[in-house]
Amino acid sequence: MSNDDGSKRRRRVATEAIHGGETRPRAGNAITTPIFQSATFVFRNTAELAAHHSHETRREEYGRYGNPTTQIAEAKCAALEGAEAGLAFSSGMAAITTALFAVLQQGHHVILTDDCYRRTRQFCTGLLGKFGVETSIVRTDSVEALEAAVRPNTRVLISESPTNPYNRVVDLDHIAEVGRRHRLLTIIDSTFATPINQRPLDHGIDLVLHSATKYLSGHNDVLGGVILGKEPIIDAVRDCQGVLGGVIDPHAAYMLIRGLKTLPVRIEYQNASAMKVSEMLSTHPRVDAVHYAGLETHPGHEIARKQMKGFGGVVSFEVKGDLDDTSRVVDATEIFQIAPSMGGVESLIEQPALMSFFELSTEERLEVGIKNNLIRLSIGLEDPDDLIADLRQALG
């Protein structure tokens, strides 16, 4: 598609969500990308095999190294994120762990901001430590701590924005600048934001991670992950994926493609609904604090306004009372369902102290910032007025 002056016009996000990454015509003249449910792919003769191995032609060989359905899902995610290339995995954790194994080696050092996903933190501090990779955890909101943590052997800087569960916002321009100055690979987990609300690569970030299980698929029925960035880095991660084997299966890739086609309209609705819910909660007498970047009272609001088009569908808040008082509020909701995860069409509710951090004592939870009276909501596609009424009666 061209502009009047003949230059190529960049398609808008809703168009890319439907058509990005997909070629025409498709197999069998189908309007949707078919599921290539095949573990292996045949060669017509040895000459074709030789051409494939010499990279004269690009085609499929074995399911762990690529699949036509998977490649469309990867290309569509890359189109939405504005990336040169993308790589899909069996889960978000498979994506981040494979990427780190691809770029790190014994003696290297990683910097991780403190509000990153707990399993990413556990992988870096636990498993990578066994292989001689050190990890420093710094405060998400401290520029000074970030600069002070950089060592000569530091190779990777990992952060998340917005963060889980407090919706803290990282200044992406600053993260990218620190990465360039110290020659670090910068990785942002942008699962909460999605490419609709935020595109970290536009700010100079090297790699973007998404748990495709969440908003990208959007229906609580797929496990998957994607990593996106420049082609040389993605190629290095792809080689590592071929060894570790954490590939997404073709049916899950098909479901991801289907989910991506409605991503813009879902996110726009969830942004608006979450804003209404957060505004109600911020004025409720039984609520002590609301953590949502769309509120002007949120400490990261100005940065979020600068780098985000919307503030997402996750709202966290603190109720007046202790662990049991908070559980009673959670149990009293009727539309919200108690479950981990987020980003689907159904609204979910959880008490992080009892969901993800149940094995820790109150003191240990407080050390990592999780309060007993904290509730996290994933706003779905129900009518926001019904969700607000449900929360009001539960809090009442």
Active site residues: 64, 117, 189, 214
Give the tokens for residue 342: 């987020």
- Cβ atoms of residues 275 and 387 within 8 Å: no
Q: Say how far apart CA 237 and CA 206 lie, in whole Å.
A: 13
| Pairing of β 154-160 and β 185-189 | parallel
Angle, nearest 10°, between helix axes 68-81 and 250-261?
A: 30
Residue type, 161: S
The two tokens of residue 21 are 């990454």
Check if the beta carbon of residue 241 is closer than 8 Å to that of residue 225. Answer: no
If you ran DSSP here, which 8-state letter would residue 62 be given?
A: B
Cis before 162? omega within 30: yes
What is d(CA 1, CA 7) in angstroms, rounded to the nearest whole number?
9
List strands edge to edge, sheet with 287-291.
287-291, 314-319, 374-378, 348-350, 337-338
Q: Which amino acid is at 76?
A: K
Please state the three-class secondary structure of 138-181 as a single string.
ECCCCHHHHHHHCCCCEEEEEEECCCCCCCCCCCHHHHHHHHHH
Per-residue burial over 189-213, b if 16 or more Cβ lie within 10 Å, else e, is bbbbbbbbbbbbbebebbbbbbbbb
Residue 267 near residue 310, CB atoms below 8 Å: yes
Residue 189: which residues within 8 A CB-CB, separation 6 or more? 92, 96, 116, 117, 120, 158, 159, 160, 161, 209, 210, 211
Determine the 3-state secondary structure of 110 from DSSP.
Answer: strand
